[in-house]
Amino acid sequence: MADISNPQHVAFANTRCRPFADAVEQCYQTARRFQQEYAAVNGAGIPNTADYFADGSDVDGRKRMTGAMAQTLKSFADSLVGWLETGTPSRITQVQQVSVNGVARF
């Protein structure tokens, strides 16, 4: 099988495909870590309400976050991880075949 040597295609593979795969795997790894840490701090106990976290965001310029927003993020993490782990081979396995730096953000 011949190598793909078209300079535009090689540049695209290295400057777009690999960084995109890295971003997807980083998101996946971060979502997995989020699930683990959510469980470790009993995140299910965070009230699913419009009450804000008292984290200083009201004075430092960050967007305010509610308990319901935190619960929505947990649901999103669960959905994302589940979707990426399906398929044969799994979608995340296909991404990992290209990814170079897929470490979690925290």
pLDDT digits (tens, 9 = 90+) for 20-40: 999 999 999 999 999 999 999
* pTM exceeds 0.95 for this model: no
Which residues lie closer than 8 Å to 98 by C-beta, 6 or more apart? 17, 18, 21
pLDDT digits (tens, 9 = 90+) for 39-82: 999 999 999 999 999 999 999 999 999 999 999 999 999 999 99
User: Alpha carbon 90 to chain centroid distance?
Assistant: 16
Cβ–Cβ under 8 Å, residues 21 and 98: yes
Cβ–Cβ under 8 Å, residues 40 and 106: no
Q: How many CB atoms lie within 10 A of CB 77?
A: 19
